Amino acid sequence: MNSRFFIPVLIGLFCLTSSVTANADTALEISMKQMSKAYKELALDLQQPLDANKSDYLALTGTLKTSAQTARGLVPKKAAALPPDQQAVMVTAYQKSMDNLVQSIDGLTQAIQNSQWDDARKIMADIKQQMMDGHKAFRAKE
């Protein structure tokens, strides 16, 4: 192969993979996006829930819980910008927040299992507030 052609192709591939890598979501961002997608779908479904669709709703709560548990084990980007003595405090607060979220999701699961739709919608509102508060406290401003 002609090196005059080969080198520019290699440079182009390097630049392309570098830009894709730079824009890639972190594991935490992926978990949060999964949680957000499941939350939005479930919020729509619970506006007019049907007992026949309960298994679908429970699958979505399963996604919420799994994503929340995964996210709990990760560290927000915002922690890296803090002084070392404040990082541990922030991570501990983040983990507690995620633990509370998982408890709320467990309550939501139970409400859905028992067809307690009003309770489920109230818990969803609480989960939404927890997510908004968590983003304010732990999400780095881009």
DSSP string, 10-50: HHHHHHHHHHHHHTPPPHHHHHHHHHHHHHHHHHHHTTS--
Query: In whole angstroms, what is the distance from residue 67 CA to residue 37 CA?
Result: 11
Domain with 132, as residue range(s), is: 26-138
CATH of the domain at 120: 1.20.120.10
Q: Is residue 20 part of a domain?
A: no
Mean pLDDT computed over 89-115: 97
Q: Is residue 13 part of a domain?
A: no
What's the pTM value of the predicted model, to 2 decimals? 0.81
pLDDT confidence of residue 80: 87
Query: 106 pLDDT exceeds 60?
Result: yes
Q: Is residue 7 part of a domain?
A: no
Separation of first and last alpha carbons in the chain: 44
Query: 128 pLDDT exceeds 80?
Result: yes
Q: Is residue 39 part of a domain?
A: yes
pLDDT-based confidence at residue 23 (cuts at 50, 70, 90): low
Q: Is residue 130 part of a domain?
A: yes
> How many domains does the structure of the chain reveal?
1
